[in-house]
Amino acid sequence: MATISKICLSASTDGRGVSVAATSSAGTTIHTGSSTAADYHEIWMWASSHSVVTETLTLEWGGVTEAGDHFITTINPNETVLIAPGWLIKGNASPIIVKAFTTTANQVNITGFVNFIDAA
């Protein structure tokens, strides 16, 4: 029977936001998935901008080279938006890593949580 537990994003310190420092690929690491094949991570993330200009945030979902690896969101000044509405990553011998980069360094913070599903 599967078990589910809620955990912080792996790059977060005690649930605090992760500041996106990168301005190009490969981005700032936000979350690293499991290396166990029976594990799934259901990822929920929000991005908050404290910039005075519109920021473009690019999520790198498990890779940096394929068009399907990139998800792009525009964030207005002083706005918080949902950027990952429960998207899944599956455990893999080489863990899948979620990264992000934005227009201006350290102007966007990402917060969220992971529903860790152990299907073993």
How many domains, the chain? 1
What domain range is 54 assigned to? Answer: 3-118
10: domain CATH number? 2.60.120
pTM of the model: 0.93
Burial class (CB in 10 A: 0-12, 13-18, 19+), 89: buried
How far is the C-alpha of 104 from the C-alpha of 118, rounded, in Å? 37
Q: Residue 67 has what pLDDT?
A: 82
Mean pLDDT of the region 25-40: 95
Name the amino acid, one letter, at 73. T
What percent of the chain lies above the pLDDT cut of 90? 88
